[in-house]
Amino acid sequence: MPSCRAVKPLSDIAPFNAVSGAHVLAALHATCFPQPWDAAALSALLVTPGTFAYAQEDGFVLARAAAGEAEILTLAVTPAARGKGLGRRLLQAAIKKAHEMGAGVMFLEVGVDNPAALALYAGLGFTKAGLRKGYYRGVDALVLRLPLPANFA
């Protein structure tokens, strides 16, 4: 299983700013998605102003904030680590950081066929803002919205 240990000591979630370590994130992404993002794509995103990531050895979140809005670009949690709260903790770190960067709202897209992710996002307070037909290779995606600052229960 891929590990971020070579990049940061990750007993817990930590900011991930090393563009040179994008291969670690790409390896994690590949364990989570059938069409993963490669290291070049992740590296290009990481150098974009306002983009940030939080990582832990079993997952990461990549987000960006600009002009008062933020967006979750991807959330990757390895299959073995799912259902244990890691995704929630990664999202909470990203949401907090986006608010610190001046964002008043956060958005994301999620496939309508992903009930676990939909439950995770609803549990954090995200609500439906729109629908993108066929967004994920023919599967519709919901656009979800969360006003910031968020109040986590």
Q: What is the pLDDT of residues 124-146, one digit of tens each?
A: 999 999 999 988 889 999 999 99
- Spatial contact of 60 and 23, defined as CB atoms under 8 Å apart: no
Q: What is the pLDDT of residue 93?
A: 95
Q: Domain limits of the chain?
A: 14-147
What is the pLDDT averaged over residues 140-153?
A: 90
Q: How far is CA 11 from the centre of its chain?
A: 19
CATH number of 14-147: 3.40.630.30
How far is 81 from 16, CA to CA, in rounded Å?
19
Judging by DSSP bridges, how do beta strands 105-111 and 69-77 pair with one another?
Answer: parallel
At 50, phi and psi to the nearest 5?
85, -5
Q: What is the pLDDT of residue 17?
A: 66
